[in-house]
Structure 1
């Protein structure tokens, strides 16, 4: 069957293509899983793939139900180094008044001091975990979670963390 007047259809399709945003046809960019901002030289927007490229670590801890589990992920100090946070010899004087707020989409926030992440101040490694017992974190815990070994209560083990913001206390 041949249509006599297909011109309006062709024009409509052409207008639709011309009006579509250019990025609608581009390859989708990876979603931002973690934003690092605030009182640091470099702000970061990291995808899951970006986070997986950092040096990784594993820690064995007791979860909130008393079970021994292994979390895998990135020491938060590695991400802070990439953002240019004052660590090591730079972590003195006014830089000791820098705090970090970890945020989750549900509004939960946790405050840390920068010294808690610095290997020169503590042997404890705070982990940005993306795996539990070798498997990706489930939707209740993840996709990213802070694991703070040595805390008796797990209130600072923030689930679903999406942002880290550095703030200077004045």
Structure 2
């Protein structure tokens, strides 16, 4: 074999190893599970970008429900009303008149979205707590359900139990 061929192969190996070395962190990061993050926007005075740490700072709540397969489950997380209240949504005594036409669209990373009336989240209007869950049965939500999921106790169908929630948008109805 000629010396030139060996040198060319040696350089090619060097560059291949260098490229792999430089790309390895990007490949590892791309495979890491997504961190819980939630954006709150729309017709609220305070738009929020909440990290997992921000969400953990809320007082956690746990609810017991039956999932879509009929299996009892315990979900833990933050009541959506508390998040909306932090964004300045009119809840409690301010939930009257034109504010009764406010809605909330919950959006998932995969494009799925669900419509709620803002009043559905207000403890003054309902005894149920709609939860933004990050845990099921004491464990973080798996990649199929999470990292965040809205749980709506009392719904006979679970179509509004939106998985992979990443945004809440408050808007005025017409």
Matched, 1:142 2:150: no
Structure 2, unaligned runs of 5 or more? 1-34
Match of 1:59 in 2: 63
Q: Give the root-mean-square deviation of aligned CA atoms.
A: 0.9
User: How far apart, in 1, do the equivalents of 2:52 and 2:63 lie?
Assistant: 20
2:133 corresponds to which residue?
A: 129
Q: TM-score, normalised by structure 1?
A: 0.81
Q: Deviations over 1:119-147 (max 9, x none)?
A: 00000100000000000000000000000
Counterpart contact for 1:32–1:45, Cα < 8 Å = no
Match of 1:75 in 2: 79
* Displacement of 1:105: 1.2
Give the structure-2-normalised TM-score: 0.79
Verify the 8 A CA contact 2:36 2:147 in the aligned structure 1: no
1:17-46 Cα shifts (integer Å, max 9, x gaps):
xxxxxxxxxxxxxx6710000011100000
Higher helix share: 2
Matches within 5 A, 1:5-24: none
Aligned positions, number: 140
- Local SS of the residue matching 1:94: helix
Deviation at 1:150, TM superposition (A): 0.1
